[in-house]
Chains A and B, each alone.
Chain A
Amino acid sequence: MIALSSNLLYTAFFLYLISTFLFGGAIRDRRKQYEKPNKWAAIAISVTMLGFVTHLGYFITRWLASGHAPVSNMFEFVTAFSMMFVLGFIILYFLYKVSILGLFTLPITLLMISYGSLFPTDVSPLIPALQSDWLAIHVTTTALGSAILASSFIAGIIYLLRSVDQTKQSKKTFWLEVIMYMIMTILAFVVFTSIYRGLDYEVVYNWIDKNDQEAEMTYHLPSLVGPNQGELLTKGKMDAFVEVPAIIDAGKLNTVIWSAIAALLLYGGLRLLLRKRISAALQPLTKNIKLDMVDEIGYRSVAIGFPIFTLGALVFAMIWAQIAWTRYWGWDPKEVWALITWLFYAAYLHLRLSKGWSGERSAWLGVIGFGIIIFNLVFVNLIIAGLHSYA
């Protein structure tokens, strides 16, 4: 059953990959863009839906095999989140019939699945705190809500690519490039980590931690920065150039630096190849879209996602916290960041409805909102310790 489940996930991955190209084809086909979706688009959305069905198949079979909702660790959450992300896209596609959404949603989905796959993928039994029906209820609702909110990021990016003037350099073009670079950093992280994992690369350090205790630290990438008073134990491997104080996690910092450097090379290479900004190179893809429609898609996803997010990440979360942790609210970092996400989208809605922030400003907000969701998903789990650090 587990083997079947993993195979279904692989299948979904490849189907999404194929539909990315199909959506690319749908954009290239300039005939009758808005009258009717063209043949390419029809095939592309069908393949996407097939991908979604296999993705759902992965989810269900894994649930059956393990006996609990597969949302109990980082890998499982990210794959569930990406599944909801695709679901959100399919809904939006049928509401607005815009092919370009797929061209941007699916690569991000692929990136998310590969990112999640870097974490342990084994089926794991539940620790006592997670043994509750609320695991399935709270986590899936939260994932669905965040995924729909995240769709406004896709709409925002498309809006900005279309509307920002690329003929001259400005703050806007700069920040768009920053977004492109960030996406490449994640790509670089995934590719780099996978390669070195394939090579079974390992460097072990003996170091002194912040409590003055000796400890060992294992690197899975060549070490650029070493731990406090680190002593290289593995022979024949590159030693670090600098040492960081004990309060900083040298291993994580090292990974971040590698990803940043690799992304810089990737970005620089692409810039040299294209001889223009990445966002300028992507701009032609967005030539045929209607700005007001994309703006509304972004807003619509927030309008649909906000109540679901509130229900999952705050209401259900509080009910479960009352049962499992004795109190509905305890200022745990993950709780606080769910509140921050909620406050952010509440501000978004007020700015839009009462202050008339639509169009470009709304698009930027959609991008920032996605940043907050990803921050909560990745950094709060991995960097800030708290009750939610299960992964």
Chain B
Amino acid sequence: MERVKCDCGHVNPHGTILCESCGKHMSGNFSEKSVDMRYEGSARRSQTYNKTPLDKVWNFFSSVKVGIWIIVLILIASAIGTIFPQQMYIPSNVAHEQFYRDQYGFFGQVFYQLGFNNLYGSWWYFLLLAALGISLVTASLDRVIPLYRALKNQGITRRESFMRRQRLFGESRVKEDLDEQIVSVISKLKKRRYCVREENGNFLAEKNRFSRWGPYVNHVGLIIFLIGGMLRFIPGMYVDEMLWIRDGETSVIPGTNGKYYIRSDKFMMETYQKDQENQVFANTLSRVGDGNMVKNYQTNVTLYERKGESILGETPELVKVKDEQIKVNQPLFHDSYAVYQVSYKLNELNKMAFRLVDKETEESFGQIKIDLLNPEKEYDLGKGYKVEILEYFPNFYFDRQGQPATQSQVPDNPAFVFNMISPEHPDGERSFVAIQRTMELSEDNQLNMKFENAEMKNVSALTVRKDNTLWFLGLGGAIFMIGVIQGMYWNHRRIWIRRSNDALLIAGHTNKNWYGIGNEINHILKATGLQELTDQTNQDKRN
């Protein structure tokens, strides 16, 4: 690579604006009133090369202006997505298009047509995030490398022209006690934790250089975070399953490859009762209605681990791991899995009991109890009486052809076609029985299935989650926080002191908080009787 040698002897990379060592303006352009100190006038790739397509892409993404535009576009897009709910938050039993049209009228329809109902999952939103990631990398690399070089190679003695063009500058006439004054200033600067270096009677006082790396550190954190967000698409990193489990039921935990089983002992929902709670809550509980505010959702579970290999068709041998109470905010954690309480259904039908009776005399021939989740084919009542279940509809409705059918396997509205066999009718009499309704399918039935009672059970919905990307995201977040605090809560301050014939030149520079550095230096200079620094940009404004 080409190199440029400054008259001070320091060799700078091609494209350098200010000599890294002495601060001389390399392009020879001295007309400016103040030097542009951004990135120390170092040679940034984006400012130096602009020929090949790679250069152009690099220059595009390394521009802060482009970066800000990307941020603003993401901001606007994100805001648009909150006008109406995203499709993951709307009821699942209606067609999306219909929901947006019915609930939000014309604008809802437009929202849906433009695909904003799944905005955050759209390809273009993803592209915006990807562009932000690329911009973060290029913009950081374009700046941090030359900046690091320039700060590492910075000289102690700076040119007069460099110093006079600094934003904070002051010039004092040399008096007899100059050396004493300088010693006093230096010791005061050291007290304020400046690191002071000397060269031929000239000084450079510097502090908090590390804060210059803050932006780059936080950008690294963000990149790690963005990558972490995509890691879940790698198989095995991420599990998100849902499990509906009834009281007393044992089920394999989905997503664990049959390794873990869970048994629900009991789901419960508690509400706040006015007379049992702290007196201070009385007003609120009266306002919302006593017993209307939920206090707790909880499933008492036992976690089991399967022993040995799983063999299809065989009951697995289970070893108890632990008992636990899963509540909202208190998931069960085990072996990188977490099981959460997310929803519930109270009083789901579980068993139904019927009595086989004579329609006329109400004489009973026995009772059957049907497990609605696992009904048997036939129930033998003895003495030649038998009930067969010919058809079973757990969640019964009439389909479009007017035929009985079931909407799901959940027994919300069970219906049966029974065949009642008796010594008088060895072929059986058929009857259709649903809740609150009985239809005879054969003529003049003698027997009838009479509903006796039903057993209900609570059902708990648990979400099973494994997310191995969390460590990565946590790392990214932590690095971001460190970087942003490093960059925001400290600032890099430098003060140059140079003797020049009969004058003492002092210049100051900071990457931010000019008001603060001005106060700090002038406080010291005032005490030693030296000329205070003036902010030259303010002077320009006044002129």
User: Interface code B391-425, partner A: CB below 8 Å = 1, 0 otherwise?
Assistant: 00000000000000000000000000000000000
In the assembled complex, which residues on chain B have CB atoms less than 8 Å from the CB atom of A340? 75, 78-79
Within 8 A of B (CB), among A161-199: none
**What's the Cα separation between A337 and B79 when bound, in Å?**
7
User: Interface code B451-484, partner A: CB below 8 Å = 1, 0 otherwise?
Assistant: 0000000000001010100100100010011001
Within 8 A of A (CB), among B92-122: 102-105, 120
**What's the Cα separation between A71 and B346 when bound, in Å?**
31
- Contact call B327/A128, Cβ cutoff below 8 A: yes
Question: Assuming the A-B contacts A132-B329, A210-B102, A324-B328, are A124 and B284 also in contact, with contact meaning beta carbons closer than 8 angstroms in the complex?
Answer: yes
- Number of B residues near A (Cβ < 8 Å) is 66
- Contact call A128/B297, Cβ cutoff below 8 A: yes
In the assembled complex, which residues on chain B have CB atoms less than 8 Å from the CB atom of A215? none
Within 8 A of A (CB), among B259-301: 272, 277-278, 280-281, 283-285, 287, 293-297
User: Interface code B240-269, partner A: CB below 8 Å = 1, 0 otherwise?
Assistant: 100000000000000000000000000000
User: Interface code A63-78, partner B: CB below 8 Å = 1, 0 otherwise?
Assistant: 0011100000000000
In the assembled complex, which residues on chain A have CB atoms less than 8 Å from the CB atom of B514? 292, 296
- Contact call A292/B535, Cβ cutoff below 8 A: yes
Interface assignment of A391: CB less than 8 Å from any CB of chain B: no
Report B100 CB to chain A, min CB distance, Å: 11
> Which of B68, B79, B278 contacts A350 (CB under 8 A)?
B68
Question: Assuming the A-B contacts A247-B103, A292-B535, A304-B488, are A331 and B329 also in contact, with contact meaning beta carbons closer than 8 angstroms in the complex?
Answer: no
- Contact call A347/B75, Cβ cutoff below 8 A: yes
In the assembled complex, which residues on chain A have CB atoms less than 8 Å from the CB atom of B485? 307
Interface assignment of A273: CB less than 8 Å from any CB of chain B: no
- Contact call B75/A129, Cβ cutoff below 8 A: no
A-B contacts counted at CB < 8 A amount to 145
**What's the Cα separation between A210 and B104 when bound, in Å?**
9
Within 8 A of A (CB), among B523-543: 535, 538
- Contact call A300/B513, Cβ cutoff below 8 A: yes
**What's the Cα separation between A351 and B513 when bound, in Å?**
15
Within 8 A of B (CB), among A337-353: 337, 339-340, 343-344, 346-347, 350-351, 353
Closest to B39 in A: A354
In the assembled complex, which residues on chain B have CB atoms less than 8 Å from the CB atom of A306? 484, 488
**What's the Cα separation between A293 and B519 when bound, in Å?**
11
- Contact call B71/A343, Cβ cutoff below 8 A: yes
- Contact call A310/B340, Cβ cutoff below 8 A: no
**What's the Cα separation between A340 and B516 when bound, in Å?**
30
Report B342 CB to chain A, min CB distance, Å: 7
Within 8 A of B (CB), among A353-391: 353-355, 380, 384-386
> Which of A326, A339, A347 contacts B72 (CB under 8 A)?
A347
In the assembled complex, which residues on chain A have CB atoms less than 8 Å from the CB atom of B327? 128, 131
Question: Assuming the A-B contacts A128-B296, A311-B481, are A343 and B75 also in contact, with contact meaning beta carbons closer than 8 angstroms in the complex?
Answer: yes
Interface assignment of B89: CB less than 8 Å from any CB of chain A: yes
- Contact call B283/A122, Cβ cutoff below 8 A: yes
Interface assignment of A328: CB less than 8 Å from any CB of chain B: yes
**What's the Cα separation between A222 and B467 when bound, in Å?**
53
- Contact call B284/A125, Cβ cutoff below 8 A: yes
Within 8 A of A (CB), among B8-42: 38
Question: Assuming the A-B contacts A322-B470, A331-B81, are A355 and B64 also in contact, with contact meaning beta carbons closer than 8 angstroms in the complex?
Answer: yes
Highest count of chain B CB atoms <10 Å: which of A2, A293, A310: A310
> Which of B294, B480, B489, B512 contacts A304 (CB under 8 A)?
B489
**What's the Cα separation between A292 and B168 when bound, in Å?**
14
**What's the Cα separation between A2 and B538 when bound, in Å?**
54
In the assembled complex, which residues on chain A have CB atoms less than 8 Å from the CB atom of B538? 292
- Contact call A128/B294, Cβ cutoff below 8 A: yes
Report A327 CB to chain B, min CB distance, Å: 7
- Contact call A307/B489, Cβ cutoff below 8 A: yes
- Contact call A310/B75, Cβ cutoff below 8 A: no
Interface assignment of A58: CB less than 8 Å from any CB of chain B: no
Interface assignment of B384: CB less than 8 Å from any CB of chain A: no
User: Interface code B414-449, partner A: CB below 8 Å = 1, 0 otherwise?
Assistant: 000000000000000000000000000000000000
- Contact call B105/A245, Cβ cutoff below 8 A: yes
6 residue pairs, one from A and one from B, having the closest CB atoms: A128-B328, A354-B64, A122-B283, A124-B284, A333-B82, A132-B329
| Subset of 6 A-B contacts with CB under 8 Å | A122-B281, A247-B105, A330-B88, A336-B82, A344-B75, A386-B85
Q: 6 extra interchain contacts, Cβ-Cβ under 8 A, other than A2-B280, A336-B78?
A: A293-B515, A303-B489, A322-B467, A331-B81, A340-B79, A384-B83
